[in-house]
Amino acid sequence: MGMVENIFPVFKGMLEREVKENRLKQRGVVVWLTGLSGSGKTSIAIAVEQELSGLGFLTQILDGDNIRAGLNSNLGFTAEDRLENIRRIAETAKLFAHCGVITICCFVSPEVNMREKAKQIIGEGDFYEVFVNTSMETCEQRDVKGLYKKAREGKIEHFTGVNAPFEAPLNPFLELKTEGYSVMECASILVNAMMDRIKLK
């Protein structure tokens, strides 16, 4: 008999999502930034958060390295662990969104099925996929964390873009082609695209 059979989720009496959103004067959503390592996901997310905060919105960033250092520190990089990583992140993001928080997720999430799983958990109406489209060459030139170099040297297996594929989104809510644009310009494009979806009318 599995543990799950003895779990009984309780929702009765809890404040409704609408009450929390009205309190915050905003709508909870999940903005899911996907792209290669070094594409600018986290930098854009931070700039978006700063811009939204200046406008009076409450946000939360969920970043790949931060999550793996804490919540998912027990997971590796096997196919199963990577999918479980995304599942846990999506469940966490869903909780934030249901509290009315604008949740910005920064994860390579290289496979379409991973992002579809996240959308399924979070709910299609709350999930906004943003493709941070930066060329492999630019990402590798930046190599802020030295990961591409290690992957080229064979020190990192299954590294997206080098020895593992990245499946670009087929129909993202927004595609940010970062080359030729500053981080702040990319952030403003994203904020403007989201404004009608996060602002309560």
Catalytic residue numbers?
109
| Block residue for tokens 């986290």 | 42
The sign of the dihedral angle between the CA atoms of 164, 170, 173, 174 is positive
Q: How far apart are CA 24 and CA 99, in angstroms?
A: 9
- Residues in a beta bridge with 29: 102
Other CB atoms within a 10 A radius of the CB of residue 79 amount to 11
- Check if the beta carbon of residue 40 is closer than 8 Å to that of residue 183: yes
- Strands (DSSP E) along the chain, which ranges? 29-34, 59-63, 102-106, 127-133, 174-177
Q: How far is CA 25 from CA 141, 174, 185, 188, 189, in A?
A: 42, 24, 26, 21, 22
Q: Which of 104, 152, 146 is nearest to 129 (CA)?
A: 104
Q: How far apart are CA 38 and CA 142, in angstroms?
A: 7
